[in-house]
Amino acid sequence: MARGARKGTGPQEPRAELTTALEAVLSTEEVRRATAAAFLALDEAGRQRLLEQLPVETAEALRPVLNGVGGSKRSRPPIAAGRAKVRQDWQQLWNEWNESINESGYEEGRYVHQEHDWEPPYLDRSALIDDLEGIAKRMRSLMSRVWTEGLDPKRSFIGEVREAANEIGAGLPEWFDGERSDFGPEVTRCLLDWEMRVAQREGLGPFEFVVRIRTLENSLRGAGIDGESVLAFVKAMPQEEQRAVYEGMRAVRQTALWSEALANPNSDWFRLRQRLARKWDRAGFAESCRSHIEQDWTLALPLISGHVRKNEYSKALELVDEAMRSLLRLEPEERWVPTQELLVSRRPFGFSRGSDAQAFRLLGLWQKAAAATGDTATAAALKVQCAIGREWDDWDRSLEAFRGSEPTCEDLFDAWRTTVARASVDRSPGSENGDKELQPAEWVRLLATAASGAMDGRALVEGIRSWLARLEKRPDAIGAFKESIATLLLDVGQARGALKERSPRLKRLLEGERGDHTLERSRRRWLVKLKGHELLPDLLGFLTRHVHAFMPDPRCADYEQCADWMAAVHEFAPEKYRKILQSWQDVHRRRRNLWKAMSARKLPI
């Protein structure tokens, strides 16, 4: 090496020639093996000479690897990727990012799907977003090194996200769907992590950083960023920075950029301001909650809780009324009376367990305020409602709540009984014909009454027998009641077993698409406890006499389904099969496909 020359800057031609020759005669795997073998063949002096011949950046990355060769795993120093490797991996991820965005614009690309020939193709934006999420997750693992070592100083994540939002689906025909392409939490966290570093480098404060993120979001069309990630990012800031963000938001809340976002309770920016205001501006927090209850009833919860803690029960009850009106979307003249109706029977709030939990928290606060003001009936009903909660279909839980109520909640029990009765038996014409003497769900109401202890098993059995007898006098109504009869038949274990033994086909058809639900298990448990097995001869006899009422009409049903039923009836009651067959031969003799389906099941026709 010439005197004064820098290490790693010697002649390159022999090295380039060797590299070219190796690539010409060896596979990539063989080159890797040969390189490793060459390193192992070097003594310490040879390794040092090797490092001196390499560029500084490469030598720094390679030195810990060579120093660890031959030593025990425990004694080896930690090995980190070199700068060039990190730069390469980082650029490769951006190449994947851009390739995915570009791919979304090709009609023959992997993100365009067509379910059927007669349906138009569509852009699967969710698949694209999932791929970008995976890329962003790998980016985050490199971001600290890339930033700290200045490997990509001019990169703007804001610019990349804005460009991606504009380019997703670019090039596809205009008639492709216009679904939003919201970026997920990994992309959003990358954006926030990187741009916070940029803001700090430029000397910007935390609120100015937030303004940049809000400006980006506001500029996106048909896209968004993950609000939960923004909230979590700000929440992780030091307390003084969080306060600076809040003060900034309060100062600009009337500006064009912020006014709409901060006035909308469904906005993540509104939620962020509320979270920060609760720490440093209790009066502002309460005022904002109070003015937006109509749009979001959950905003009343912290206010009601505060009034209850301060024994300000009249104020709490006023807010409860306002919150319930918002929750149930009541008209001005409407009221919801907790002593007469189960909250779960309304269920406009029942989109998730979280929202239901909030609703029952509201009822719990109402209960405390009602009890404190002497309204014992309302307090007792609300206590029962909270105890039952979402599990209204669990009879044991519900009945235990009613038994422990003081005073008793008779109207609410009747409402619960009606709810489980209607849920047990699908609505049918008979349930809405105004006939007070004969209702499809009557046997379920009787069972619930007996389960409460108001009647014994003998009275229950006689009551159901009476219902069946009245129904049998109205053969025109049996078809409308067949869902209820089938449910009762399948709920009685002995009848279910006898039916399976006598006609497995009929049992399967009566079961249809029923599932093993809590409500079904509750009814069956109580029928066992209350001597439901005594109904076995009544139910099988009723089904034998009226099985034809359960049959689909070939004039408006699938012939294969009709043939399945005929096979089941032939198995269950051959004499009934012959009568139905004779009727069908007269009425449906021209339906050749019907007879073909029956012949395929080897039925006598």
pLDDT confidence bin for 467, thresholds 50/70/90 = very high
pLDDT at position 247 over 70: yes
11: preceding bond cis by omega (within 30 degrees): no
pLDDT at 429: 41
pLDDT confidence bin for 77, thresholds 50/70/90 = low
pLDDT mean over 41-67: 76
What are 344-355's pLDDT values in tens digits? 888 655 444 456
pLDDT at position 12 over 90: no
pLDDT confidence bin for 2, thresholds 50/70/90 = very low
pLDDT at 503: 94
pLDDT confidence bin for 272, thresholds 50/70/90 = very high
> Which percentage of the chain shows pLDDT scores above 90?
73
pLDDT confidence bin for 123, thresholds 50/70/90 = very high
Q: Of 28-42, 173-187, 327-341, which gets the smallest average pLDDT?
A: 28-42
User: How would you write 110-165 as a 3-class SS string?
Assistant: CCEECCCCCCCCEECHHHHHHHHHHHHHHHHHHHHHHHHCCCCCCCCHHHHHHHHH
Q: Of 8-17, 155-164, 341-350, 515-524, which gets the smallest average pLDDT?
A: 8-17
**Contact of 545 with 475, CB cutoff 8 Å:** no
- Domain boundaries of the chain, sorted by first residue: 35-72, 83-236, 297-401, 425-550, 559-605
User: How would you write 459-526 as a 3-class SS string?
Assistant: HHHHHHHHHHHHHHCCHHHHHHHHHHHHHHHHHCHHHHHHHHHHCHHHHHHHHCCCCCCHHHHHHHHH
**Contact of 77 with 68, CB cutoff 8 Å:** yes
| Amino acid sitting at position 299 | L
pLDDT mean over 415-442: 76
pTM: 0.77
pLDDT at position 117 over 90: no
**How distant, in Å, are the alpha carbons of 106, 174, 179 from that of 170?**
8, 9, 13
pLDDT at 390: 86
In sequence order, the β-bridge partners of residue 8 are none
Greatest mean pLDDT among 455-464, 553-562, 584-593: 455-464
pLDDT at position 401 over 90: yes
pLDDT at position 74 over 60: no
> Hunting for tokens 């004969």 — which residue is that?
438
Q: What is the mean pLDDT of the chain?
A: 89
pLDDT at position 423 over 50: yes
Q: Compute the distance between CA of residue 152 and CA of residue 150 in angstroms, rounded to an integer.
A: 6
pLDDT at 73: 55
> Which percentage of the chain shows pLDDT scores above 70?
91
pLDDT confidence bin for 450, thresholds 50/70/90 = very high
pLDDT mean over 444-469: 96
pLDDT at position 85 over 90: no
Specify the 3-state DSSP secondary structure of 14: helix
pLDDT at 557: 85
Phi and psi at residue 122, in whole multiples of 5°? -145, 160
